[in-house]
Amino acid sequence: MASAVEQRLISSGRPAYRLDGDNLRTGLNADLDFTREAREENIRRVAEVAYLFADAGTVALVALISPYLAARDKARELHEQRGIPFVEVYVATSLAVCVKRDPKGLYAQATEGEIPAFTGLDDPYEPPVAPELVVLGDRVLEKTADSVIEALAECEAKPELATRARRRKRAD
């Protein structure tokens, strides 16, 4: 979904860059493992990078599994304190769908005990309390990408929507 949003923004003339686990954990965050502390540090670093992109006028699309509410709240706070909109998109997907869509076979490895503390299995996922947008994980990609772009445009037009007093939207 983040790739589709990135492509649409760029094709419309809007600078955008997708930050995801693959492009971050091979460089910037290569020194981090998957303990709770390391995951929180991963989110902190990514939030700082996303801020730098946004400050330079580029939409930062952060596509990470960020299981802890407190870490996401810190990322939001960092942006709010600096006057940068923060749009949280919660992709509400069942564990069964995540397992089915797993291109790397990580869920199978975690089930076999090869990956400890795996999100959704033996480590919790704390859903967002009030994200700007909820996308149901089984929806059509084109519709979800449109919903994300609309949420971004709405928060840019009305920055107060991307603050603690934000509204909750659901993409259908």
- List the catalytic residues: 66
d(CA 71, CA 43): 6
d(CA 58, CA 118): 32
Q: Which residues of 135-165 are buried (b: 16+ CB within 10 A; e: fewer)?
A: bbeebeeeebbebbbebbebbeeeeebbeee
Judged by DSSP in three states, 160 sits in: helix
User: Rounded to the nearest 5°, which phi and psi values hold at 153?
Assistant: -60, -40
